[in-house]
Each structure stands twice: as structure tokens, then as C-alpha cells.
């Protein structure tokens, strides 16, 4: 097993370090206050800035970018970081737009990141950023499963997604030891009650299928379009089966945490 050191920068952005390999997820480093448009009349304002400045980051080996089309997953300062990484793994559509060092992965496609201590397998996993038929509006999104070649256990990043058949299939195809869940129950006034990311109830349902050892919520604070913060998640997990309830762990914003045997 491999220990993982993870720092929650804010929103969906985390720095994941293992065996000297540094991965950055969905880089968002703009200051708070700006209003971002998300298409089709939807918009949101960033309310909390990153806990770390972009300049404070160590050299990044790979950026795991779930999608490039929304400012709460890739903003101006985050976009400026991409060329310095060895590789940017993302959706095929995003790779076409970004060019350069971006590599697009289709769902269930696997690539390898080599480094001094060995190799890390990265598999793209299905994600749907809204209700059925919403992809034409919200665009494609991907999750990422990280795995050592000699181990079956995965560190899984869901990406921005609602619970759907693709996520349920992850439970049948992967042994998820650690799950980084994008939550927040995203909604916009222009589309009423329609949700574009998981809520607490869906998170519990997904974890009942996965039975991960550790559950790490992200993407629940710092933006006006996030409609569920920490308290609803804690209430939902409090009534879940013991194995699911005990897996929930909150990452402090800005402080690194070492997770033993996370991968």
C-alpha cells in the first residue's frame, strides 16, 4: 500500500503527493469576488480564495483536469499553470481545446505516468455533469482512478457529476480504497431545481456501493452555485451504515494531510 499526502486548496482543487509524484486536480487559483458565466444564462461568483497561492506550489508532474469549460474547475490563474506540468490529463474535448501538453482520455481509457519510484496508472471514469441529455449544455466531464500496477486498490476522483449508471458501474469495475467526491449539489437560478453535481444523499448511496475505506468531500464550498456545504453531508452520513459513516473524513483547507495506505 502507498501513503498519500493531500492538500485541499479549495473548491475542487487538491494537491496529491505520493512517492515523490505530484498531481494537481482542477486548478482554481483566482482570488474571490469575480463572477463567472457557465453558459445558457447561468453564472456564479467565487466567494472564497485559494488556501495556497499558485506560486507556492511545488513543481507539478500531472494535472488531472476533469473539464476545462467551467471557471470553478479551471480559472484564469489555474489555466496559466498548465504549460508547466509534464502532462495535463483531461477529456478529449478539453485536450483539443488546450493543445500543448494536454492528453485526452475517453471513459475507461488508461494511461501511465512514469516517475522515479515507478508507474501510476490513471484511468478515466464516467461522469455526467447534470441530468440526462444535459451533456450538450454542460459539456463532457471525466473522473480519474489512480492505481499502482501491482495493486488492485484505486484512489478515485469522481469529477463534477450526478449519480448515474456510469458511476454505479465504477463500483463493479474498480476496488475503490479512497474516494474524492465532488459534491455541492450545484444549482443555478435559471434552471431551478436541476442539479449538476452530487448532493449528500447521492454521495451516501454511491458509498454504499463502493464501500471505500476513506471518503473525502471536495467541491462544496467557496462558490455561490454550491447549495450543500458540510452540514448536510455530515447529516446524511450520520444515518448511513457504520462502514460508510466511519469512512467520511474532512480535509482541512490548506493544510496537508497524510492518508496511510490510501492507494
Structural domains in the chain, CATH included, are 4-259 (3.60.15.10)
∠ CA 195-178-210 to the nearest 5 degrees? 65
Distance CA 166, CA 128 (A): 8
pLDDT at 252 over 90: yes
Distant-in-sequence, close-in-space partners of 24: CB < 8 Å, separation ≥ 6: 13, 14, 15, 16, 57, 60, 62, 63, 64, 81, 85
Q: What is the pLDDT of residues 142-164, one digit of tens each?
A: 999 999 998 899 999 999 999 99
Q: What is the pLDDT of residues 50-61, one digit of tens each?
A: 999 999 999 999
What integer is the mean pLDDT of 213-219?
Answer: 98
> Among 32-46, 75-89, 217-231, which stretch is predicted with the lowest mean pLDDT?
32-46
| Kind and range of the H or E run holding 244 | helix 242-245
pLDDT at 135 over 90: no
CA–chain centroid gap for 49, Å, is 18
pLDDT at 115 over 90: no
pLDDT averaged over the chain?
Answer: 95
pLDDT of residue 27: 98
Distance CA 241, CA 193 (A): 28
What integer is the mean pLDDT of 163-171?
Answer: 95
∠ CA 119-54-143 to the nearest 5 degrees? 45
**Secondary structure (3-state) at 130:** coil
Q: pLDDT tier at 41 (50, 70, 90 boundaries)?
A: confident
pLDDT of residue 229: 97
Q: pLDDT tier at 245 (50, 70, 90 boundaries)?
A: very high
One-character DSSP codes across 22-69: EEEES---PPTT-EEEEETTEEEEB-S--SS-GGGSPPPSEEE-S-SS
Distant-in-sequence, close-in-space partners of 56: CB < 8 Å, separation ≥ 6: none
Q: How many CB atoms lie within 10 A of CB 29?
A: 22
Q: What are the residues facing 129 on neighbouring strands?
A: none
pLDDT at 64 over 80: yes
pLDDT of residue 114: 84
Query: Residue 105 in contact with residue 111, Cβ under 8 Å?
Result: yes
Q: pLDDT tier at 118 (50, 70, 90 boundaries)?
A: confident
pLDDT at 109 over 80: yes
∠ CA 138-139-144 to the nearest 5 degrees? 110
- Residue recorded with cell 515507478: 118
Q: How many CB atoms lie within 10 A of CB 104?
A: 19
Amino acid at each position: 500500500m502507498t501513503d498519500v499526502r493531500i492538500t485541499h486548496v479549495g473548491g475542487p482543487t487538491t494537491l496529491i503527493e505520493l512517492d515523490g509524484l505530484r498531481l494537481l486536480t482542477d486548478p482554481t487559483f483566482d482570488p474571490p469576488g469575480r463572477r463567472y458565466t457557465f453558459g445558457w444564462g447561468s453564472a456564479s461568483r467565487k466567494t472564497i480564495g485559494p488556501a495556497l497561492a499558485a506560486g507556492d506550489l511545488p513543481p507539478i508532474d500531472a494535472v488531472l483536469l476533469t473539464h476545462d469549460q467551467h471557471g470553478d474547475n479551471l480559472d484564469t490563474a489555474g489555466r496559466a499553470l498548465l504549460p508547466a506540468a509534464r502532462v495535463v490529463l483531461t477529456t478529449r474535448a478539453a485536450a483539443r481545446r488546450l493543445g500543448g501538453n494536454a492528453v485526452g482520455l475517453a471513459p475507461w481509457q488508461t494511461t501511465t505516468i512514469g516517475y522515479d519510484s515507478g508507474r501510476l496508472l490513471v484511468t478515466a471514469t464516467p461522469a455526467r455533469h447534470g441530468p440526462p441529455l444535459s451533456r450538450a449544455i454542460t459539456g463532457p466531464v471525466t473522473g480519474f482512478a489512480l492505481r499502482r500496477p501491482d495493486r488492485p486498490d484505486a484512489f478515485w476522483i469522481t469529477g463534477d457529476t450526478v449519480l448515474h449508471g456510469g458511476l454505479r458501474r465504477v463500483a463493479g469495475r474498480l476496488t475503490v480504497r479512497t474516494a474524492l467526491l465532488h459534491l455541492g449539489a450545484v444549482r443555478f437560478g435559471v434552471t431551478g431545481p436541476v442539479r449538476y453535481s452530487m448532493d449528500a444523499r447521492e454521495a451516501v448511496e454511491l458509498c454504499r456501493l463502493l464501500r471505500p475505506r476513506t471518503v473525502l468531500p471536495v467541491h462544496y464550498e467557496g462558490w455561490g452555485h454550491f447549495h450543500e456545504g458540510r452540514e448536510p453531508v455530515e447529516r446524511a452520513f450520520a444515518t448511513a451504515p457504520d462502514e460508510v459513516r466511519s469512512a467520511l473524513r474532512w480535509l482541512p483547507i490548506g493544510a496537508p494531510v497524510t492518508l496511510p495506505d490510501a492507494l
